[in-house]
A = this chain, B = another copy of it.
Amino acid sequence: MEDVVIRTLEKVELRDPILVEGLPGVGNVGKLAADYLRDKLPTKPLAIIYSKFFPPQVYVGEDGVIRLVSNDLSYWKAPPSAAHDLLVLGGDYQGISPEGQYEITERVLDYCHQLGVREVFTLAGFAQGRVVESPRVLGAATNPRSVEALAKSGVVFSRNDPGGGLIGASGLFLGLGRLFGMEGACLMGETSGYFVDPRSAEAVLRVLGKVLHLEIDLTALEAKAKEIDRIAQKIHEAEQRTSEPTPTPGASPREDLGYIG
């Protein structure tokens, strides 16, 4: 079979479309953000992407109906006042082998290039290994002008982060995108790396909205973030009761709780 199979669901003409990518990864930040964006704009389905580089797996819905794992592209026709239509790439998995990641990314970029895409934003999480209360959004871009412009929108460019570079789709869509003449940037929401993190996804979308001049209603994501906070708080309290029966004198339990929540 073809390494990557792209099924077009609808033929569309798009105006200077920008691709926004968000696939599963650290804290699922990229996927949460892309899925939310896809639902809120709202977008329409454009194409489904199957590949032998995904796991050999189907999902079964609550109605008992199966669906082969995939990535998917949806599009958003911007109002006439806006300069760019949008394409949003989401999905169940990144390619499960290094070669697979290259193959899938290259094919999707080629497809998007034919649709007129010349700019890519990739959304991701950046694991800090500790709880992050107010996640910053770190950035990396394909050229110095983009770095400058993003910095003005509040994106943090850190000399040392991410030290090892970007691994996976969020990096590859930029790196291979360059070979298609595309410019772009990666927006990385800080996250602990231990939780699925809607608050970090919210921070990422807030920046993306500013950069793309988009109004994105973030209420539902904010609610989701608060729910996760409540769960984390409860887990923390349960751990407190279990592991610290005799609190160290002078240590305020409130301070400690503050650390998580």
Contacts and interface: CB of A to CB of B under 8 A. Distances in A.
Interface of A: 1, 5, 7, 50-60, 62-69, 95-103, 105-107, 139-144, 147, 157, 159, 162, 164-169, 171-172, 174-176, 178-179, 186
Contacts of A65: 140-144, 147
Given A139-B64, A140-B64, A141-B66, A56 B167 contact: yes
Contacts of A178: 68
A59 B160 CA distance: 11
Taken together, the copies of this chain in the complex come to: 4
Nearest to A172: B56
Nearest to A7: B179
Contacts of A56: 95, 98, 101-102, 105, 167-169, 171-172
A64 B157 contact: yes
B103 A66 contact: no
Given A1-B176, A55-B98, A64-B157, 4 more contacts: A56-B167, A58-B171, A66-B166, A66-B175
A51 to B, nearest CB: 8
A57 B166 contact: yes
B167 A66 contact: no
